[in-house]
Structure 1
Amino acid sequence: MYHRDHIDEIAAILKRWYTNRDILRQYQQQARLLAAGSLNWEEEAKRLLQLSGEGLRRKRKLHIVLTVDPEIPVPPLLYGGIERMVYLLVNGLVSRGHQVTVFANPLSDLPCQLVSWKGHKSRPLIDTLHNMLQLTGVITKVPADVVHSFSRLAYLTFLLPRALPKLMSYQREPTQSQIRKAVLIARKNSLCFTGCSRYITRQITQLAPAHTIYNAVNSDYYTFKETVPTDAPLIFLGRIESIKGTHLAIELAIRTGKRLWIAGNIPPEGISYFAQEVKPYLNEQIEYLGPVNDTQKNTLLGQALALLMPIQWDEPFGIVMIEAMACGTPVLGFNRGAVPEIVEPGINGYVCSDLDDMEYKLAEVATIDRKIVRESMVQQFSADVIVAQYLELYEEMARNKVKDEVEDKTEVKVKR
């Protein structure tokens, strides 16, 4: 039997169970609160230890619900950076023994339970309402430890007032007004955010708790090429539109006489851009290869001298950069968005101020050790690293929920 004279013994037990100092301190404070009050210490100590054990069991195995926009299947056949990231995360969680449920496009092929969205588009209001209600209904019937959204924040609306831990991951520019509304509605300590780069996270932290967790690729899927010929082509891989800077990649190729491969899809809004800024310059030196699948991408990136990222916008992450690095191919990118976070000068590429600077740095690319390029990617952006970071955050959120339940129940009893 434990009583109020054995506070340190209780704290020692908790210390063996929890290595997180903040959580330990909170439980020690809770123990002292109980000892100072007129509560039945034996009963409260048992309940405290029981709830602590529940937190530990959650750490071993969680039920995680993931959501992704309904338009593109997971994994995607061609374009779909967010869907690739979710696929990687799902496989990592399942391989670690966690239960995973994914709300996604019905054509998705996943090693876990798939729930097909009733609303097939992200933007129409009626589809948004369908998906809000569907997600809430399923969660009500089959409780989860964490709901992690890579889709619209609006889908979480009816879940926000609940104690259920909710994580919203931004892979693009966040809408701050929506974050403000969500924080006002959400139950205290139940809503958290992540950004795919510090550039994105900085836009969130002024409004809500947020962490940076980078995107990743499975390095085993990419073939490392230790060497390429000195006359190997440059490559531009991405959507063919002005903000991606395809025209600047072409200009660099013309200036330097280097061969250039252009690969990627042409969105509807990029058709006229392609006709005016790309097509007139295509020849034996500058080739447009069209959209490419994962196998083709792996081959092209591995054979290139460097990947060009002459972006004209603030790229939230740019997963193609780490795909290139997985093949050993360095990156030349403009100093915008997340580029300076991913590209380490002289290690895996160069950050360039403008096209003149990119032309100058191109001469230095051949001196970069492609083996180090690959190693830098594996250390920071591999699947194992990023899955572990998300899992650590899930576990922290689940523990915080248990802690809040302890505090809420104790507060009620103290008032009585």
Structure 2
Amino acid sequence: MKIAIIVNPLIPVPPEQYGGIERIAFMLIQELKKKGHDITLYANEHSQPGCKLIGYRESAHYGVKDLLKINRLTSKIAFQHFDIVHTFGRMSNIALLMLSRIPKIVSYQLPPTVSQVKKAVSIAHKNTLKFTACSNYIANQINAFADVTTIYNGVDLNDYDFNAGVPDDAPLAFLGRIQHEKGTAIAIHTAKKTNQKLVIAGNVPNEPIHQQYFNEQVKPHIDGEQIKYIGPVNNRQKNDLLRNSKAFLMPVTWDEPFGIVMAEALACGTPVIGFNRGAIPEIVTNGLNGFVCDMEADMITAINSIDSISRASCRKIAEQKFSAGVLAKQYEELYQLARDKD
């Protein structure tokens, strides 16, 4: 098939550090290429996807000029004999394409704006628009209004080294943006309560509210011994951190749509301990590849029970549910279904 994939142009594909959507798009492109498909990526002009690239830009404050300029670009897809257009980006950037007969896949990695979903369905050419969601949590917000399929995010297993066992003094790990919604301070508190070491990795967003959170609730506890902060990490550093950790903590205070880092941890054989929010109970099977907790006290109990989790089972679940090959196969099947329906 000849496939057009669209990603918002703020971050190159693949990303150097953080950029979950860009990472998923890159991984999908690599797998589809292996299957012999012809891929064109519309993305940041500095991307290196290993396929044909159409670079484009948008301004820092997306507006009407951006919408019109980008639609002039994407509308040409309808006349270039593509079999499928698949966007991970703004749905407004394919507004004109909605009118064409070409099958369209719109992938949601964040909670949808229902009004936009309804509007897209109302203007799209009949039987040409399908949605995907990165979890059932997201799909359940769409399925009353549109045709949606859950396709979990995944990881390239070759990028993550399985570690069958770690020493008793191995640390816990926290990896993500340092902000209240991610629960960094909760991770610190539970590590201290269980007398465990904790390694924190991730960036502190520039907004004052996040800087204040770091300075007041995280930084005072960093001692370089029990609680370490190593800043943003690249792929190699991430692999080293996750594979050498006793458990990965996911104490989020918001409804996490998926959390790719959980799949990355499982690929290393590292159990995940997270709160019962969003998609976490879809990824973590309680007692099998980690623990799902309702409150901080449950997380403390789970940390003390982490030796009951088989690291081999964690890796096996990553292979079966969250691998690049599984993800690409599901998208390929959806592409074919969309073409057959046209």
Aligned to 1:406: none
Q: Quick one: which of 168, 172, 184 aligns to 2:106?
A: 168
Q: Quick one: which of 71, 81, 86 aligns to 2:10?
A: 71
CA-CA distance at 1:118 after TM superposition:
3.8
Q: TM-score, normalised by structure 2?
A: 0.97
Bigger relative contact order, structure 1 or 2 (CA pairs below 8 A, ≥6 apart): 2
Aligned to 2:147: 209
Answering whether residue 265 of structure 2 is matched by residue 324 of structure 1, we say yes
Greater alpha carbon shift after TM alignment, 119-128 vs 371-380? 119-128
Answering whether residue 338 of structure 2 is matched by residue 397 of structure 1, we say yes
1:71–1:120 Cα contact (<8 Å) kept:
no
Equivalences for residues 123-134 of structure 1 within 5 A: 123-134=62-73
Answering whether residue 212 of structure 2 is matched by residue 272 of structure 1, we say yes
Distance in 2, Cα, partners of 1:245 & 1:125: 36
Q: Quick one: which of 86, 89, 98 aligns to 2:28?
A: 89
Q: Relative to structure 1, is the Cα distance of residues 392 and 307 closer, same or farther in structure 2, using a 3 angstrom cutoff?
A: same
Distance in 1, Cα, partners of 2:308 & 2:241: 20
Aligned to 1:404: none
Q: Quick one: which of 323, 328, 347 aligns to 2:288?
A: 347
Answering whether residue 329 of structure 2 is matched by residue 388 of structure 1, we say yes
* Letter of the 2:338 counterpart: M
Q: Over residues 252-307 of structure 1, what are the superposed CA-to-partner deviations in whole Å (9 max), with x where a residue is unaligned?
A: 11111111000001111221111111101110210110000000000000000000
* Letter of the 1:372 counterpart: S
* Letter of the 2:155 counterpart: V
1:216–1:382 Cα contact (<8 Å) kept:
yes
2:205–2:211 Cα contact (<8 Å) kept:
yes
CA-CA distance at 1:121 after TM superposition:
4.6
Query: What are the ranges of 5 or more consecutive residues in structure 1 without an aligned counterpart?
Result: 1-61, 402-416
Query: RMSD of the TM alignment (CA)?
Result: 1.0
Distance in 1, Cα, partners of 2:164 & 2:190: 25
Aligned to 1:361: 302
1:236–1:309 Cα contact (<8 Å) kept:
yes
- Count of matched residue positions in the alignment of Structure 1 and Structure 2: 339
Aligned to 1:114: 53
* Letter of the 1:369 counterpart: S
2:103–2:129 Cα contact (<8 Å) kept:
yes
Aligned-pair identity in percent equals 47
Distance in 1, Cα, partners of 2:320 & 2:152: 12
SS at match of 2:105: strand
Answering whether residue 136 of structure 2 is matched by residue 198 of structure 1, we say yes
2:103–2:338 Cα contact (<8 Å) kept:
yes
CA-CA distance at 1:122 after TM superposition:
7.2
CA-CA distance at 1:147 after TM superposition:
0.5
Structure with higher helix content: 1
Q: TM-score, normalised by structure 1?
A: 0.80
CA-CA distance at 1:134 after TM superposition:
0.8
Answering whether residue 252 of structure 2 is matched by residue 311 of structure 1, we say yes
Larger Rg: 1
Aligned to 2:88: 150
1:226–1:371 Cα contact (<8 Å) kept:
yes
